[in-house]
């Protein structure tokens, strides 16, 4: 809940300022530095690739390792659990300790959230800080990957990661027969029935797969993350249920079946409850492609068993 | 004794019963999903084996019988419990700010629930109510042990202070544990805000025995609270075994409150607003106040929950926010309109 609201609170597209000074001469010179990045009021010039990166953002950690910049990462926060080889520390992205961060002597700190003036404190201490907040669209996600690629001198890898994602997503979506058929679903964020609407990053992925979100008509506050009434879920009787709360809240097909009123739902009776990885579905990195594959698989499975 | 002996009149009993029934009927008929009154009647009638009642097999039956009815009844029972426990504590400690969480119930329950949530074991989810119940009971036991050793004759004050200290200590531990497990914050946070959205008959079955026992004890001991109002020393000279009675009342209130919060999370304000609002209406005699708090607390929480589930329907509002948002101004209104000089 908290992470979600924080993610939503900072809706800005963080990448409008991405500029690379070296663009014209890029083809000619093997090292495209300096790279100039404008990020939340600060203009940073990278004359060479940062050699000591700290990531306090689980998504950025995934991106850095995916684009082969993992060797430059000296520390990641306590929530960065992927990939397993990331140098996980006790550092926290939510309650960060400036001294502990500085003790690594980093030349770049990547965050997804700015608690208690973390960004300005670190910048005042002379450390470059890149704030990449929650993506609103896949395009945001691609842009963040490209930005980290430019800064770390891994443009080629970053481009490859993005094009690979695009390819995977396109083929997953293409594999769904008669997309746009009105298959309804309920995406569960926690066991008190918080959900997501199609206006959110994750909600858009379902729309791309042609699914109808039962939460869309429920979000009077247009916040994107409504808490659905149990009565409403039962009345809507979604065809598919996606659980993104198996990690946070120990939910499972079994606990869903045992809830009051849920036993009669079509998705429960016909076994169309699909477990998503909590982490992947709350991040916006390269693994987002596999999330879409999981959704596509669920839709195909549903269509196959119901027609 | 200055307190006039008041009884609950027959009229009051009738008015309260009718008000409670009307609230419950209204709350069952109105919800996030519109259900025709005939379906409500059919669903409840069939399940209660009313003769010739046709079985309604549709979704509306699930909504009414499995979701809405148990939720409304649970809200009533929990509201009763919190209000009567609040009134009891205000009497026992002669403190108008006393609420059911005074001796650390909420902090202990929160710590217990947090431990269950972060432990991450597959079974831990079902253990949240058990852990929060044990946490609540443990916290009050700790408060009582520490507070008892205070200066004799000033025990009620030292108990309150011990309660504040224990609550702060446990809340600090809970926050620490929660910060160590950022990935679980969402669930801890949901629990702390309190919800009736996920409740069913099972929750009611689980807590009903404790709440019934607790309410019965508080009701039986209501007259003693009037004696407490003269102060511990005078109550002793009047022949009241002050310490023993206080212990019984605290155990009873704790048992019921702990059971209530274990399934609904922390719902604030009920225990303080309802007894005081009633006090302003009917005066200070606990003989009247306790039974009225039992009914009034139930009505209040059913209404608050009705707002929580319908105001932004089909989106829920956390119940704790509604009790504060509606309860506090309502209470101030009563306070302003009836300056009768009533005091605790």
Give the Cα separation of B197 and B183 in Å (integer).
22
Q: Which of A58, A111, A89 is nearest to A285 (CA)?
A: A58
Pairwise CB contact (< 8 Å): A230 & B67: yes
Q: A255 in contact with B at a CB cutoff of 8 Å?
A: yes
Pair of tokens at residue A131: 């704030």
CA B289, chain centre distance (Å): 15
Q: A221 in contact with B at a CB cutoff of 8 Å?
A: yes
Whole-structure pTM value: 0.81
B198 to chain A, closest Cα gap in Å: 6
- Per CB-CB distance under 8 Å, the chain B contacts of A226 are 314-315
Over residues A166-194, the mean pLDDT reads 87
Q: Which CATH architecture has domain A177-306?
A: 3-Layer(aba) Sandwich (3.40)
Residue A245 has pLDDT above 70, yes or no: yes
Pairwise CB contact (< 8 Å): B187 & A190: yes
For chain A, the structural domain boundaries read: 2-167, 177-306
Q: Which of A196, A217, A221, A65 is nearest to A136 (CA)?
A: A196
CATH topology of domain B60-337: ABC transporter involved in vitamin B12 uptake, BtuC (1.10.3470)
Give the Cα separation of B120 and B138 in Å (integer).
22
Pairwise CB contact (< 8 Å): A229 & B198: no
A115 contacts A96 by C-beta, under 8 angstroms:
yes
**pLDDT tens, residue by residue, A255-289:** 888 888 898 899 999 999 999 988 999 899 999 99
**φ and ψ at residue A79, rounded to 5 degrees:** -100, -10
- A29-33, A166-170, A226-230: which has the minimum mean pLDDT? A29-33
Give the Cα separation of B276 and B282 in Å (integer).
10
Pair of tokens at residue B91: 């009497």
Give the Cα separation of B288 and B222 in Å (integer).
8
- Helix then strand then coil, in percent of chain B rounded to 5, is 75, 0, 25
Residue B195 has pLDDT above 70, yes or no: yes
| Domain at A2-167: CATH code | 3.40.50.1980
For B105, the enclosing helix (H) or strand (E) is helix B105-119
- DSSP lists the bridge partners of residue A35 as A46
For A11, the enclosing helix (H) or strand (E) is none
A121 contacts A66 by C-beta, under 8 angstroms:
no
Closest by Cβ to A260, choosing from B67, B179, B189: B67
SS3 for B241-262 is CHHHHHHHHHHHHHHHHHHHHH
A156 contacts A144 by C-beta, under 8 angstroms:
no
For B130, the enclosing helix (H) or strand (E) is helix B124-148
| Model confidence band, residue B151 (pLDDT cutoffs 50, 70, 90) | low
Q: A92 in contact with B at a CB cutoff of 8 Å?
A: yes
Pair of tokens at residue B164: 């504040």
Pairwise CB contact (< 8 Å): A234 & B67: yes
Pairwise CB contact (< 8 Å): A231 & B179: no
Give the Cα separation of B98 and B92 in Å (integer).
9
For A66, the enclosing helix (H) or strand (E) is helix A58-66
Give the Cα separation of A100 and A78 in Å (integer).
13
What pLDDT is attached to residue A15?
Answer: 35
Q: B195 in contact with A at a CB cutoff of 8 Å?
A: yes
Which residues of chain A form beta strands (DSSP E)?
35-39, 42-46, 53-55, 73-76, 108-111, 129-131, 184-188, 212-213, 240-243, 273-275
What pLDDT is attached to residue B312?
Answer: 84
B262 to chain A, closest Cα gap in Å: 15
**pLDDT tens, residue by residue, B263-316:** 888 888 899 889 988 888 888 888 889 999 999 999 999 999 999 888 887 888
Pairwise CB contact (< 8 Å): B315 & A79: no
- A21-30, B238-247, B266-275: which has the minimum mean pLDDT? A21-30
Percentage of chain B with pLDDT > 90? 23
CA A85, chain centre distance (Å): 20
Pairwise CB contact (< 8 Å): B185 & A231: no
Local structure of A51: helix, strand or coil: coil
- DSSP lists the bridge partners of residue A275 as A243
Pair of tokens at residue A12: 């800005």
Average pLDDT, chain B: 84
Strands A35-39, A240-243: pairing kind: unpaired
């Amino acid at each position: 809940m908290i992470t979600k609201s924080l993610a939503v609170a900072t809706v800005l597209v963080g990448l409008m300022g991405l500029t690379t000074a070296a663009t014209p001469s890029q083809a000619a010179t093997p090292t495209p530095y300096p790279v100039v990045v404008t990020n939340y009021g600060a203009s940073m010039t990278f004359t060479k690739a940062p050699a000591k990166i700290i990531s306090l953002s689980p998504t950025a950690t995934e991106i850095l390792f995916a684009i082969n910049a993992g060797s430059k990462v000296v520390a990641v926060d306590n929530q960065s659990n992927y990939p397993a080889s990331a140098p996980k520390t006790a550092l926290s992205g939510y309650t960060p300790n400036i001294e502990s961060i500085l003790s690594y002597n980093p030349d770049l700190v990547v965050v997804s959230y700015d608690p208690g003036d973390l960004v300005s404190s670190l910048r005042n201490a002379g450390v470059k800080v890149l704030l990449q907040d929650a993506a609103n669209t896949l395009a945001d996600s691609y842009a963040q990957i490209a930005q980290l690629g430019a800064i770390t001198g891994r443009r080629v890898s970053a481009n490859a990661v993005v094009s690979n994602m695009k390819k995977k997503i396109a083929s997953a979506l293409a594999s769904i027969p008669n997309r746009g058929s009105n298959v309804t679903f309920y995406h569960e964020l926690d066991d008190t029935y918080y959900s997501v609407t199609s206006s959110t990053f994750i909600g858009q992925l379902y729309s791309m797969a042609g699914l109808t979100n039962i939460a869309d008509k429920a979000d009077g506050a247009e916040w994107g993350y409504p808490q659905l009434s149990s009565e409403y879920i039962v009345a809507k009787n979604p065809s598919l249920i996606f659980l993104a709360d198996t990690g946070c809240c120990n939910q499972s097909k079994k606990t869903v079946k045992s809830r009051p009123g849920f036993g009669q739902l079509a998705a429960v009776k016909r076994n169309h409850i699909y477990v998503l990885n909590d982490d992947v579905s709350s991040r916006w990195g390269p693994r987002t492609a596999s999330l879409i594959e999981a959704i596509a698989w669920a839709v195909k499975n549903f269509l196959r068993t119901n027609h | 004794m200055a307190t006039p002996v008041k009884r609950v009149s027959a009229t009051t009993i009738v008015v309260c019963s009718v008000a409670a029934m009307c609230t419950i009927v209204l709350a069952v008929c109105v919800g996030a999903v519109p259900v025709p009154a005939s379906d409500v009647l059919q669903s409840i009638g069939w399940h209660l084996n009313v003769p010739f009642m046709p079985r309604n097999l549709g979704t509306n039956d699930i909504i009414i019988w499995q979701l809405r009815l148990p939720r409304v009844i649970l809200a009533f029972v929990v509201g009763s419990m919190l209000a009567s426990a609040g009134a009891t504590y205000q009497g026992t400690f002669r403190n108008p700010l006393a609420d059911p969480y005074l001796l650390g119930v909420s902090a202990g329950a929160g710590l217990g629930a947090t431990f269950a949530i972060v432990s991450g074991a597959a079974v831990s989810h079902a253990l949240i109510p058990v852990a929060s119940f044990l946490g609540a009971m443990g916290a009050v036991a700790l408060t009582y042990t520490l507070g008892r050793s205070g200066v004799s004759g000033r025990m009620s004050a030292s108990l309150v202070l011990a309660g504040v200290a224990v609550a702060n200590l446990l809340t600090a531990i809970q926050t620490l544990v929660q910060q160590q497990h950022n990935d679980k914050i969402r669930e801890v946070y949901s629990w702390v805000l309190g919800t009736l959205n996920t409740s069913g008959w099972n929750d009611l079955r689980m807590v009903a025995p404790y709440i019934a026992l607790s309410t019965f004890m508080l009701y039986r001991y209501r007259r003693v609270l009037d004696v407490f109002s003269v102060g511990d020393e005078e109550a002793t000279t009047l022949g009241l075994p002050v310490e023993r009675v206080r212990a019984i009342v605290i155990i009873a209130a704790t048992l019921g409150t702990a059971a209530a919060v274990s399934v609904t999370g922390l719902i604030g304000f009920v225990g303080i607003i309802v007894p005081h609002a009633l006090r302003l209406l009917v005066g200070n005699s606990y003989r009247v106040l306790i039974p009225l708090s039992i009914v009034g607390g139930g009505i209040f929480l059913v209404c608050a929950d009705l707002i929580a589930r319908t105001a932004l329907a089909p989106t829920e509002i956390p119940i704790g926010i509604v009790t504060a948002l509606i309860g506090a101004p309502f209470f101030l209104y009563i306070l302003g309109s009836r300056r009768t000089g009533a005091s605790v």
